[in-house]
Amino acid sequence: MSSPPTEEPTPRPTGLVERLVRDDVDRKRFLKMAGATGATSFGAFVLAACGSSSKTTSTTAPTAAATSTSASATMTDIGILNYALTLEYLEREFYKKVIAAGLFTGKVGALIKDFGSQEATHVEALKGAVQKMGGTPAANPNGKFPINTASQVANLAYEVENLGAAAYLGQAPLIQSPEVLAVALAIHSVEARHAASLGTLVKKSLTPDGSFAKPAEMSTVLAAVKPFLG
């Protein structure tokens, strides 16, 4: 059920995403930036803060220690944002190739196109968030996906979407900004709904983890997406 249209006491996550999408961001290289993270480069696909949260209760200039802590948090957030962006790049490219292959028609085909469009929106939102934090957006990696039959693709999409949702959840505790945490949860929710819809299509569980979703660790995500990196 929807809430009364006149009651919107706080900004909604959707509005934040839309605002980020409107940012004009140039695409830069990510792998060079993330090289120092080694094997964990693709493990933390999660949206992070556009800045550390704080309550401004004083006009006193920040101490050196506080400034250092804030800068450290910002660098962490930029890295996590770029992990998330890289996953969304891969998902966008996956759906683009599936649509081009013409394996799905009718209602299912329309659903796949909607998913692809939503992943593209996630990409633009994350690129905008990185720029707002003063960072360089990740480069678009070359993805390679087995696009053979409708059944094979649908099952792969189900696994990818569940993995994406679990990866966001796994890194959520590292997010610094409550505002961007709201955006992260908004994207996480869409990934989970994609997975549930695909579960119906391939006749698999809509809630594979039961009552509580399980987060995915970096190593788990890395092992799963590594075969799809060109």
Tell me the one-letter amino acid at 114. D
pLDDT of residue 71: 66
pLDDT tens readout for residues 112-164: 999 999 999 999 999 998 898 888 999 998 889 999 999 999 999 999 999 99
β-strand partners of 143: 229
DSSP per residue, 187-212 = HHHHHHHHHHHHHHHHT--SSTTTTS
pLDDT of residue 82: 85
Closest among 148, 165, 149, 223 to 199, alpha carbons compared? 165
Contact 184, 172 (CB under 8 A): yes
Phi, psi angles (nearest 5°) of residue 229: -95, 125
Contact 171, 43 (CB under 8 A): no
Tell me the one-letter amino acid at 216. A
What sign results for the dihedral spanned by CA atoms 56, 57, 60, 64?
negative
Output DSSP code: residue 227.
Answer: G
Contact 153, 98 (CB under 8 A): yes
Torsion of CA 182, 188, 192, 193, to 10 degrees: 50
pLDDT of residue 89: 94
In the chain, % of residues over pLDDT 90: 41
Q: Predicted confidence band at 61 (pLDDT cuts at 50, 70, 90)?
A: low
The mean pLDDT of 54-71, rounded to a whole number, is 52
Q: For the chain, how are helix, strand and coil distributed in percent, rounded to 5?
A: 65, 0, 35
Assign domain 13-50+63-228 one CATH number from 3.40.50.720, 1.20.1260.10, 3.30.70.2340, 1.20.120.1200: 1.20.1260.10
Cα 141 to Cα 36: distance, rounded to the nearest angstrom = 17
In the chain, % of residues over pLDDT 70: 67
pLDDT of residue 149: 96
pLDDT tens readout for residues 1-40: 444 444 444 333 333 333 333 443 333 333 333 333 333 3
Contact 190, 118 (CB under 8 A): yes
Most confident of 35-49, 64-78, 158-172, 187-201: 187-201
Distance of CA 128 to the CA centre of its chain: 13
> Is 212 a residue whose pLDDT tops 70?
yes
